[in-house]
Structure 1
């Protein structure tokens, strides 16, 4: 599946929202090449290995259409914290987990803050890089 196929399978308004988020990612982090990992549109690709020995492949940034909204996954770590955690207080319209930013609509979040988060992701190594 390609990014285009993923987006085309969505109903509006979600399709337009993910296309807009895709454009924002491409603008803010152009060096993170589009990829599909685990059936989700992703940007940047890396191999990881955790201390437990578990290995795999992941996207630096990925997005997903979920039943209750949109999820933006950012796997980059600064110090001992995932980047989304560092931006949580600036994204009050979103639910922010360790490496995920969840929101119902793109208009619920500050696009400028998302742009900063994505630029930081392009410059920060993902967790567990091999």
Structure 2
């Protein structure tokens, strides 16, 4: 779910969440900030983004996106790690088997409770993503 238009900061985003989701995303937010302080947080497309910047794809699409993102979605919580390694493998897709009892896409990790996510592995990928170029660039 996208944040309401009046939610313009990560602090306001977290404050607007239901208590059980607020606790989980606040814990993740703090862990990401500690793991990669150089990736500044902000709001991007209704989510918290870290390392927000421009991108341009080979097909010519361009816009603004993040290297790492957090979102409160209708049915779950989501951690996005939007980077690929030197072999063009999405980090999340590559390490999905290590991330816990979660559902993964190419760059999205979905979970209902923070305890389902292997936070150490997720933060390892967040740190790796911080060293890599933006997707599509």
- Answer whether TM exceeds 0.5 for this pair: yes
Partner of 2:120: 112
Partner of 1:12: 19
Partner of 1:21: 28
CA contact (8 A) 1:33 1:43 kept: yes
Partner of 2:46: 39
For the aligned residue pairs, the C-alpha RMSD in angstroms reads 1.0
Deviation, 1:92, is 3.3
Deviation, 1:81, is 1.3
TM-score (norm: length of structure 2): 0.90
Deviation, 1:21, is 0.5
State how far apart, in whole Å, the 2-side matches of 1:109 and 1:11 are: 19
Q: Which runs of 4+ in 1 moved over 2 A?
A: none
State how far apart, in whole Å, the 2-side matches of 1:43 and 1:90 are: 23
Secondary structure in structure 2 of the residue aligned to 1:77: coil
State how far apart, in whole Å, the 2-side matches of 1:111 and 1:39 are: 23
Deviation, 1:69, is 1.1
Deviation, 1:126, is 2.0
Q: Give the stretch that moved more between structures: 8-17 or 119-128.
A: 119-128
State how far apart, in whole Å, the 2-side matches of 1:72 and 1:38 are: 14
Partner of 1:123: 131
Partner of 2:3: none
State how far apart, in whole Å, the 2-side matches of 1:24 and 1:67 are: 23
Q: Which runs of 5+ in 1 are unaligned?
A: none
Secondary structure in structure 2 of the residue aligned to 1:13: helix
TM-score (norm: length of structure 1): 0.94
Q: Which runs of 5+ in 2 are unaligned?
A: 1-7
Deviation, 1:29, is 1.1
1:67 aligns with 2:74: yes
Deviation, 1:60, is 1.0
Partner of 2:4: none
